[in-house]
Structure 1
Amino acid sequence: MTADEPHEISGDASLLIVDDDKPFLTRLARAMEGRGFDVDTAESVEEAVVKARARPPAYAVVDMRLGDGNGLDVVAAIRDGRDDARTVILTGYGNIATAVTAVKLGAIDYLSKPADADDIFAALTRTTGERAAPPENPMSADRVRWEHIQRVYEMCERNVSETARRLNMHRRTLQRILAKRAPR
């Protein structure tokens, strides 16, 4: 079976999706229900840990950074309740250290945002040893840079001066970048 072929959900189809981006959470939940999962959602670490302890899911999709903490705490809680759970971490702030920690805690994959429902479904249902196909249309370097700037800008609560300081960039340069449309 290749990464492009449709996959099947085997056995228990319970899926916990944890993300503090409500529109994304709603869209992903709908998409996963359409693919046969029994979906439950949570918008915080606290809510997700309570749900994971009450009913450990067979599958989980967990955002790394949540408003009240780190998604790795959710991964650990899921693993404590069910060691065969298949968990995928989503993040816009990927780095090697957190990816390694996520895998050590039991995550089976680590996807960077924006990830679509097909990518997430493939990661959840991929068999052991099966490799993911390289992306058909990866983001351009300009798009990756723009996405990073946007994330830092949001983290700084849309404060241009603070964002420019953290990015080690001149404030006016940042203002020009923010005024432009996103590159493809």
Structure 2
Amino acid sequence: MNETHKLLAVVEDDEAFARTLCRSFERRDYQVIQAKSYDQLAELLERHVPDYAVVDLKLEGSSGLTCVQALRDISDDMKIVVLTGYASIATAVEAIKLGADYYLAKPSNTDDIEAAFARDDEGDASIDIHARQSSLKTLEWEHIHQTLMETGFNVSETARRLGMHRRTLARKLEKRQLR
């Protein structure tokens, strides 16, 4: 990553986080363009083709997955990292299917993101798979989210498939918002 002025698109609706991320990458010789939504990204993509992109999974009013798809449509070589505060297996799989190269859970910093950009496409079989075990709550949330996706986010059908009362599922969803 020695070349200067690599173009990076940051798609993030949290202004404070986006500002910090942009400044940090600018200090590392990236030229940064920033969008808060899919519509803003679409406008930027009419004038720019980024080399790299960092996309928040949950944008106000839309999904970052639509941004991932738009970015991938304009360049097969672009490195795309999806960030989310609510990581799940289901959203990770969808992000990768739509063209993301990597999926990182927040809090991730510039070093984490740049390390993801630097990875090759071959994968790394030496990664320690026991480094971070999921808690029971995380596994439950991932299972709920996967079932929600399978049912098209139909809460009643999801509750039926999970064998729980609809109100119980609704309470669980209120505690941990979908992102």
Same fold, TM-score > 0.5, yes or no: yes
Query: Which residue, out of 48, 61, 71, partners 2:64?
Result: 71
Query: Which residue, out of 85, 98, 121, partners 2:114?
Result: 121
Gaps of 5+ in 1: 1-7, 145-164, 175-184
**2-side partners of 1:120 and 1:30: how far apart?**
14
Q: Secondary structure at the match of 1:57?
A: coil
**2-side partners of 1:28 and 1:115: how far apart?**
10
Q: Secondary structure at the match of 1:119?
A: helix
Superposed counterparts of 1:81-96, under 5 Å:
81-96=74-89
Gaps of 5+ in 2: 139-169
Query: Which residue, out of 166, 171, 177, partners 1:166?
Result: 171
Superposed counterparts of 1:25-36, under 5 Å:
25-36=18-29
Superposed counterparts of 1:9-158, under 5 Å:
9=2, 13-131=6-124
**2-side partners of 1:75 and 1:168: how far apart?**
25
1:19-45 Cα deviation digits (max 9, x unpaired)? 111110000101111112111111112
Q: Structure 2 vs 1, CA of residues 168 and 24 (structure 1 numbering), >3 Å: closer, same or farther?
A: closer
Q: Is the 8 A contact 2:4 2:30 kept in 1?
A: no
Amino acid at match of 1:66: L
Instruction: Give the number of equivalent residue pairs.
Output: 147
Q: Secondary structure at the match of 1:107?
A: coil
Q: Is the 8 A contact 2:92 2:103 kept in 1?
A: yes
Amino acid at match of 1:26: R
* 1:116 shift after superposition: 1.0
Runs of 4+ in 1 over 4 A off after TM superposition: 9-12, 137-141
* 1:133 shift after superposition: 5.9
**2-side partners of 1:105 and 1:11: how far apart?**
28
What residue number does 2:145 align with? none
**1-side partners of 2:106 and 2:62: how far apart?**
18
* 1:62 shift after superposition: 0.1
Amino acid at match of 1:73: T
Percent identity between matched residues is 39
* 1:113 shift after superposition: 0.7
* 1:139 shift after superposition: 10
Output the aligned Cα RMSD.
Answer: 3.3
1:71-124 Cα deviation digits (max 9, x unpaired)? 111111111111211100001122222211211221110001111111011111
Amino acid at match of 2:46: R
**1-side partners of 2:91 and 2:9: how far apart?**
20
Q: Structure 2 vs 1, CA of residues 127 and 33 (structure 1 numbering), >3 Å: closer, same or farther?
A: same
Superposed counterparts of 1:165-184, under 5 Å:
166-167=171-172
